[in-house]
Amino acid sequence: MKVGDLCQKQVVTVRPFDELVSAARLMREKHVGYLIVVEPAFKEGTFVPEGVLTDRDMVVSVMARETDPSSLRVGDIMTRNPVLAQEDDSLPAALERMRRIGVRRLPVVGDQGQLVGVLSLDDVISALVAQLQDVAGSIRSEQLVEHALRPWLALPAACQRRRALDRTTYRTPADAELQ
């Protein structure tokens, strides 16, 4: 699976010169804790990631230091030159990169460095859950087919428990031969 197949294409972005308070409001309005800081790319209508800004950045760099947030711009506290994922990267390669640098999200770029999305661990977990549901569905389907083809094997659970109890309590000669 490729990163470009999993990443969220709807990305919330800001510019480095935007006011930090405006960025915080945007996070609240969009219900996100991660903004990608962009600059226009050469190609009209596209942007390249210059940095990222997280709600944690704001807490650690501004609130904990008792700095006045209205005096700051996004570029003052953003993480510059973020680690990126290419949309053609394999998911295992992107996950290894995320683990190595200790992040939960990566900006995803296209072949010319243009922003195409953001990959989060939430996206990865959702995809894995969907795959596990497919596996479980396959097992359930197999059981349904088995019961349809061999109805005599589909004994009620009470009969199956009774039969198991009978085998442990009253051993038949055939049971003795099996041991």
Q: Could you tell me the CATH number of the domain that includes residue 105?
A: 3.10.580.10
Confidence bin at 173 (pLDDT 50/70/90): low
In angstroms, the CA 2 to CA 6 distance is 7
Inside any domain, residue 18: yes
pTM of the model: 0.73
- Give the chain's domain count: 1
Inside any domain, residue 55: yes
In angstroms, the CA 76 to CA 61 distance is 10
Inside any domain, residue 66: yes
Inside any domain, residue 142: no
Indicate the range of 53-57, 112-116, 137-141, 168-172 predicted with least confidence: 168-172
Q: What is the pLDDT of residue 45?
A: 80
Q: What is the pLDDT of residue 69?
A: 87
Rounded to the nearest 10°, the torsion over CA 160, 161, 163, 166 is 180
* Mean pLDDT along residues 70-95: 95
Q: What is the pLDDT of residue 11?
A: 95
Task: Please choose, from the candidates 64, 62, 63, the residue with its C-alpha nearest in 3D space to the C-alpha of residue 78.
Answer: 62
In angstroms, the CA 58 to CA 69 distance is 9
Inside any domain, residue 137: no
Inside any domain, residue 117: yes
Q: Calculate what percentage of the chain has a pLDDT beyond 90.
A: 59
Q: What is the DSSP letter of 59?
A: I
Indicate the range of 9-13, 72-76, 108-112, 169-173 predicted with least confidence: 169-173
Average pLDDT, the chain: 85
Inside any domain, residue 42: yes
Domain around 66: 3-125
| Terminal-to-terminal C-alpha distance of the chain | 48
Is the pLDDT at 167 greater than 70? The verdict is no
Inside any domain, residue 150: no
* Mean pLDDT along residues 8-23: 96
